[in-house]
């Protein structure tokens, strides 16, 4: 048994080590907080630019909507004009056709017959000019209609192409605006997640600073020969806990499917494949609340970390601690054994505030 002086020195060293670890974790959390703040500033800058781009795209969509409406209106008017002209051409076609047929039948002799029937040369000249003018008018009218119809058809085709083009631009602008909306929503979600993480970071930093103050008080008590509680809360070390054993995770946390029996099971911890006999270490300091056989878990060690937080180590081969022992972070509590199915593996479970949590969210990545 250690003498009081030696024990006091040991407690002092332990308190100093815990204070150093708390300080290192506080610095890590503060560094993370600064990084989160930089990320948030970057995202907010991106959000401002994205919002500006969204406004531009919204204006483009509005303008394209107006262009599409105007183009379709013009197209409808042109189509109606072409249809009306086609109706006029169809209505006048029989008259023009009959006149052309009569002139064709009359031919040049027919003209002379018509002229010879006249009583004087003046009448003959007028008749000739009349016939020639009627033929020219018919010819010019047909040509004019054909040109106008061709022009209207070209205009209608151009308007249809323009309407298709504008509709495509409209769809593209709307899709771009939707993509910007989604990008803005995603970045807003990231900002909210960062804010939650920063709040948690501040809370964890506050807990560690309180723990530091208690450790300082403990150091003073140790110097006076008084007993002191030496511990750090586990929650500020989320994502920074050491692995209890080296190996790959072969059984995840939560609802899992048992391939052997084809049923779903709820696992409160994880299974880590490791070699039989490998060391198993505590992930955080605390006191051993249980060490011994436990149905379904073989040899089991439960370490109490305070504030209703526990870590459980199951399927152990050898037990290297007993109930009531104080354990340091990474102190060996046992060795890897075998599961009921014969695999060499460690069962590891973590409970925070009395509830099982996914250990992978707490262990170092």
H or E element, residue 273: strand 269-273
CA-wise closest residue to 349 among 207, 254, 210, 216: 254
pLDDT category, 224, cuts 50, 70, 90?
Answer: low
- Cα–Cα distance for residue pair 112/116, rounded to 1 Å: 6
Neighbours of 133 (CB within 10 A): 10
pTM metric for this prediction: 0.60
1-232 and 239-361 share one fold: no
Structure confidence at residue 266 (pLDDT) = 81
CA-wise closest residue to 69 among 154, 161, 167, 173: 167
| Domain locations in the chain as residue ranges | 1-232, 239-361
pLDDT > 70? residue 54: yes
Contact 347, 249 (CB under 8 A): no
SS3 334: strand
pLDDT > 70? residue 347: yes
Neighbours of 262 (CB within 10 A): 7
Domain 239-361 has CATH 3.40.720.10: no
- Cα–Cα distance for residue pair 38/31, rounded to 1 Å: 11
CATH T-level topology, domain 1-232: Helix Hairpins (1.10.287)
Of all residues in the chain, the percent with pLDDT exceeding 90 is 32
In tens, the pLDDT along 1-15 reads: 344 444 444 777 888
């Amino acid at each position: 048994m250690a003498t009081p002086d030696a024990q006091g020195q040991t407690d002092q060293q332990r308190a100093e080590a815990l204070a150093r670890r708390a300080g290192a974790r506080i610095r890590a959390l503060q560094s993370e907080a600064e990084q989160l703040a930089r990320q948030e500033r970057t995202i907010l800058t991106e959000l401002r630019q994205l919002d500006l781009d969204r406004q531009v795209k919204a204006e483009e969509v509005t303008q394209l909507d107006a262009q599409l409406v105007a183009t379709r209106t013009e197209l409808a008017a042109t189509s109606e004009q072409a249809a009306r002209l086609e109706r006029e051409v169809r209505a006048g076609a029989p008259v023009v056709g009959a006149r052309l047929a009569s002139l064709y039948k009359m031919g040049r002799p027919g003209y002379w017959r018509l002229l010879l029937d006249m009583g004087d040369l003046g009448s003959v000249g007028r008749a000739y000019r009349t016939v020639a003018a009627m033929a020219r008018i018919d010819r010019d009218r047909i040509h004019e209609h054909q040109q106008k119809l061709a022009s209207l058809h070209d205009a209608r085709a151009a308007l249809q192409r323009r309407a298709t083009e504008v509709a495509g631009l409209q769809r593209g602008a709307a899709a771009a605006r939707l993509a910007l909306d989604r990008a803005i929503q995603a970045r807003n979600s990231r900002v909210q997640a960062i804010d939650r993480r920063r709040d948690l970071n501040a809370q964890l930093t506050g807990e560690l600073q309180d723990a530091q103050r208690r450790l300082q008080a403990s150091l003073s008590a140790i110097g006076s020969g008084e007993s002191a509680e030496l511990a750090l809360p586990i929650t500020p070390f989320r994502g920074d806990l050491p692995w209890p054993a080296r190996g790959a995770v072969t059984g995840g946390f939560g609802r899992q499917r048992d391939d052997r029996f084809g049923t779903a099971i709820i696992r409160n911890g994880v299974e880590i494949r490791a070699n039989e006999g490998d060391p198993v270490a505590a992930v955080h300091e605390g006191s051993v609340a249980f060490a011994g056989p436990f149905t379904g878990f073989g040899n089991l060690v439960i370490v109490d970390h305070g504030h209703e937080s526990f870590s459980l180590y199951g399927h152990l081969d050898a037990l290297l601690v007993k109930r009531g022992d104080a354990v340091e972070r990474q102190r060996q509590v046992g060795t890897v054994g075998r599961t009921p199915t014969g695999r060499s593996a460690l069962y590891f479970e973590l409970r925070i505030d009395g509830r099982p949590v996914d250990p992978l969210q707490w262990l170092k990545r």
